[in-house]
Chain A
């Protein structure tokens, strides 16, 4: 992982994952978090939702749109727990960008940490894109992070990308550890001004 990567656009085929309030327990069931690395997370993505009662793959979109790069979701996607395992699983499965009506905050933050653009648009726009992907499973969907647009087929639509996410991705500074580490003297000054730290030590 490197903070040097400028991410100005991501593209590839799409996968519609319809439904409001899709929570992180659905995206990555808790029982699969008993691992000390993220390496295997792709295997567990939407584990229960993708399988029927016999454990066979069902008609879940992830099974039908294998190899897709752009996930298109609806309202409040990624609500629930803070587990980065959820976007890690999506990334490792192949998702490079997401378009949705809205995202839960921690989920969006985690996407930013991983360099996954999360673009929002109104319901009509998102639904039309999901429909188009169903009709054009091999069609290319491109998220332009700089211009805040999504292009598919002959259509280009405006989307919103949170300004701090946009700047971080475009300028290649989404790895915040290195960035903040360079300010450690300022951190010390802030800590000096906090009464509860002094009284502790």
Chain B
């Protein structure tokens, strides 16, 4: 049993009581709502004649179904089902006094991008949302959990969830990232090492020098993909980087009130002698950019590494999963992912749709041109991100390089709007899931990677090592042609 960790302290602060079934009733300090998983919950509330208990701690935005093409965002939306969902959210938030960051607010975007940038997500909070990527908010040192619709009903009606306390695994990231290797590569490395179900029953505490060096946007990308490793929540202890990020944001108090909050934030950090259920150490000094080769985020390798042969994998089920992945991806063992043809480059999402992600990508595509047979989509994670990129001219770099510069939404991460991957297409994607059918057609193929790698893939029309485009990148990075010879 863990003791003295941030998780223990925040849990204790929010624990209301123990329920008869042995679970804890846990108060949720920030409830985020979007259009897809909430309408049924509001419906259940109406059936029981219950009100929203804490509307002032509940914030809504629309992200999953929204069109990202400007001309398609006029109301009513062309797609009737999408319009119905958006309309339901407007009604539900309006009737219950919940703040809704709609199109007209100028703040609409993906829940996990909007709440951090507005300063809603803060250290020492519990955050819940009907979305598995709620772990994102753990980057501030909060406990963020994804919940189902019945649990959304619970939070709406009582401000609470019924929850079992989990074990805490400390993941110590040692070393320092090389040029052209990013937070996304760290989390892909963690999932590679610990597996897609390694975190079941655990909360991940990420720490160590390589984590402390990251800015908030990098930390958000790491915590975001906790669920891809099976951990429902993941967090990073708050520090000066966290406080500096929060200072001056819209929902963060100023002056003395801020200083008082910092005292609280300091108090909930894991103690130096905290006890963990488990500690894992990973060194990232020598990692290269990672890319997935399969159909789950654990099927991931460094970009010039050979794809494993199913027969080399330890268990029969892993072998079968690898066979299925190779078949779907039309790949063979021993090849690397370098040179894998790409039809769509997709930059955005709650993992990598923040200003720094577009900045990194812009550096790579500046002065380059996306080939005619590649569709390159830049989809800011929020309207705030979009406007900041536009104010700095980053959008122009994308447009000049042949990208489509879109409005905010989840877009091709899960293809609930018009942005869908076609049957025979391959997508180089900065998103978080490469599940079959996730990005559109069931025969579409996804390769997960960092924003820099997506940018480079867009320009080359194939998977490549983005460090080739960096002035100060390592000099020994191979081009695709060289590697094919090595692989033979």
Which residues of chain A have a CB within 8 Å of any CB of chain B?
Answer: 1, 19-21, 23, 25-26, 29-31, 33-38, 48, 74-76, 79-85, 87-88, 102, 104-106, 109-110, 113-114, 162-165, 167-168, 171, 173, 176-177, 179-181, 183-184, 186-187, 189-191, 193-197, 199-201
Contacts and interface: CB of A to CB of B under 8 A. Distances in A.
Contact of B197 (A102, A109, A168): A102
Interface string B294-315: 0010000000000000000000
22 contacts: A30-B414, A30-B415, A34-B82, A34-B85, A36-B85, A37-B40, A79-B296, A80-B435, A85-B149, A106-B232, A109-B148, A109-B151, A110-B148, A164-B162, A167-B22, A173-B21, A176-B150, A176-B162, A181-B157, A187-B25, A187-B27, A194-B29
B81 A194 contact: no
B130 interface: yes
A154 B85 CA distance: 50
B327 interface: no
A76 B230 contact: yes
What 3 pairs between A and B have smallest CB-CB spacing?
Answer: A113-B150, A84-B148, A110-B148
B163 to A, nearest CB: 8
A199 B257 CA distance: 6
Contacts, number: 222
Nearest to B441: A48
Contacts of A171: 20-21
B442 interface: yes
A193 B13 contact: yes
A163 B165 CA distance: 13
Contacts of A102: 197, 200
B66 to A, nearest CB: 12
Interface residues of B, number: 82
Contacts of B16: 180, 183, 186-187, 189-190
Nearest to B56: A201
A197 B251 CA distance: 12
B482 to A, nearest CB: 34
A106 B135 CA distance: 12
Contact of B36 (A23, A33, A48, A164): A33
B425 to A, nearest CB: 16
A200 to B, nearest CB: 7
Contacts of A199: 253, 257, 260-261
B60 to A, nearest CB: 15
B122 A196 contact: yes
Contacts of B159: 187, 191
Given A25-B435, A194-B13, A196-B125, A34 B416 contact: yes
A187 B17 CA distance: 8
Nearest to A37: B40
Nearest to B258: A199
Nearest to B123: A196
A183 B236 CA distance: 31
A196 B37 contact: no
B13 A26 contact: no
B91 to A, nearest CB: 10
Given A21-B321, A167-B20, A196-B261, A36 B84 contact: yes
A81 B435 CA distance: 11
A37 B88 CA distance: 11
Task: Identify which of B131, B160, B257 gathers the most chain A CB atoms within 10 Å of its CB.
Answer: B160
Contacts of B124: 195-196
Interface of B: 13-17, 19-23, 25, 27, 29, 36-37, 39-40, 43-44, 48, 50, 53-54, 56-57, 64-65, 79, 81-82, 84-85, 88, 122, 124-125, 130-132, 134, 146-151, 153-154, 157-162, 164, 196-197, 200-201, 227, 230, 232, 251, 253, 257, 260-261, 264, 296, 317-318, 320-321, 414-416, 433, 435-438, 442
Contacts of B20: 167, 171, 173, 179
Nearest to B296: A21
Given A48-B437, A76-B197, A114-B150, A36 B50 contact: no
A197 B30 CA distance: 10
A16 to B, nearest CB: 14
A160 to B, nearest CB: 12
Contacts of B153: 177
Given A25-B435, A196-B125, A199-B260, A191 B164 contact: no
Contacts of A176: 19, 150-151, 154, 161-162
B414 to A, nearest CB: 4
A25 B436 contact: yes
Contact of B150 (A48, A110, A180, A189): A110
Given A21-B296, A84-B150, A106-B147, 10 more contacts: A20-B318, A34-B82, A79-B196, A83-B148, A87-B148, A163-B21, A165-B21, A177-B153, A187-B25, A194-B29
B14 A25 contact: no
Contacts of A163: 21-22
A79 B21 contact: no
Contact of B160 (A25, A180, A197): A180
A82 B13 contact: no
A197 B29 contact: yes
B25 to A, nearest CB: 5
Contacts of A19: 317, 320-321
Given A81-B132, A84-B148, A199-B253, A38 B40 contact: yes
Contacts of B148: 82-84, 87, 106, 109-110, 113
Nearest to B264: A195
A104 B253 contact: no
Nearest to A48: B442
A109 B36 contact: no
A68 to B, nearest CB: 23
B201 A74 contact: no
